[in-house]
Amino acid sequence: MDISVIIPLYNEAESLPELTAWIERVMDENKFTYEVIFINDGSSDNSWEIIEELGRKNSCIHGIKFRRNYGKSPALYCGFERAKGDVVITMDADLQDSPDEIPELYRMITAEGYDLVSGYKQKRYDPLSKTIPTKLFNATARLVSGIKNLHDFNCGLKAYRNEVVKSIEVYGDMHRYIPYLAKNAGYDKIGELVVHHQARKYGSSKFGISRFFHGYLDLMSLWFLSRFSYRPMHIFGFWGTLMFFIGFVAAFILGASKLYAMANGIPFRLVTDSPYFYIALTMMIIGTQLFLTGFVAELVSRTSQERNKYNIAKEI
């Protein structure tokens, strides 16, 4: 099979027939063998009934129905598990992503050898309240991930080699960082395609301003896991030892200066009267806690089933 199209959706009943007909036309014109997997993420409208009807008309249409709303990442994860196409394409169900981009995305994966191609909606039909935070978010994601050539991490229109989606785990709200997940898994040939962005035709956006705050926290979590998930002691142990050492040296200097003053008849005050004593003591306590955190994290890491799970490119 050439292509698997994965479409997560939540209350998009009005757009589904038009989107499906559009995809069918593009696939037939290019003679692709394909499947379309709709993931109904707990919709409260009649989205599932429409998916069932579309599936009866076209055997290439498949559907998955969640019992409640779990989010985009779990929906994509279920779609990735079931995808059979050589190239996997994800898109949103709101008609803002154009299926006419599918042939070029497919060509970039198969002919140019990209592992992943992300869409870039250079000209957007969104209000400034959405576009400005999006630009800041993408700039931060480029800086942290090191993927300098992507301008739109959160674009729903992406293409992957099938091997890529089988090698990454999308959870929580990590769908925003699939390129980063792919890079961490060793798939670093990542490209970008400028795509057409259409104004929303039906309904309203399902995402609020909170997604930017959550996205920042997820990015920090992903950065930490990518750097230290297999060696947590390297960060906690280092900073813990450093803080303990600085605190110990500071406390030693305070004690030594008091002893020197006593030996030479110089007026002195109690060590506990100095604020530096409490600062040094606090640093020693925090340093010990960080070191023990790293030790416990190392024990947890050693028992993890993922500790020695690596992506093998080839074997002879």
pLDDT value at residue 93: 92
Tell me which amino acid residue 169 is. Answer: E
Cα–Cα nearest to 10, from 33, 38, 36: 38
126: left (phi over 0), alpha (psi -120 to 50) or beta: beta
Tokens of 263: 């030996």
Other residues' Cβ atoms within 10 Å of the Cβ of residue 280? 22
Per-residue pLDDT tens, the chain, 316 aa: give them.
999 999 999 999 999 999 999 999 999 999 999 999 999 999 999 999 999 999 999 999 999 999 999 989 999 999 999 999 999 999 999 898 999 999 999 999 999 999 999 999 877 666 666 667 778 888 888 888 889 888 888 888 999 999 999 998 888 778 888 999 899 888 989 999 999 877 666 666 655 555 556 666 777 777 776 766 667 787 888 889 999 999 999 888 888 888 888 878 777 778 778 888 889 999 999 999 988 888 887 777 666 555 555 556 666 6
Q: What is the pLDDT of residue 230?
A: 65
Q: What is the pLDDT of residue 175?
A: 87
Q: Which string of b and e fits 213-222 if b means at least 16 CB within 10 Å?
A: eebeebbeeb
Q: Residue 130: its pLDDT value, please?
A: 67
Name the E strands within the chain. Answer: 3-9, 34-40, 61-65, 87-90, 116-120, 158-161, 190-194
State how far the Cα of 215 lies from the Cα of 235, in Å rounded to an integer.
Answer: 23
Buried b (16+ CB within 10 A) or exposed e, 73-100: bbbbbbbbeebebbbbbbbbbbbbbbbe
> Considering the domain 3-228, what is its CATH architecture?
Alpha-Beta Complex (3.90)
pTM over 0.85: no
Dihedral over Cα of 60, 106, 1, 310: its sign: negative
pLDDT score for 208: 53
**pLDDT for position 166:** 93
Query: Among 220, 221, 215, which residue's Cα sits nearest to residue 73?
Result: 215
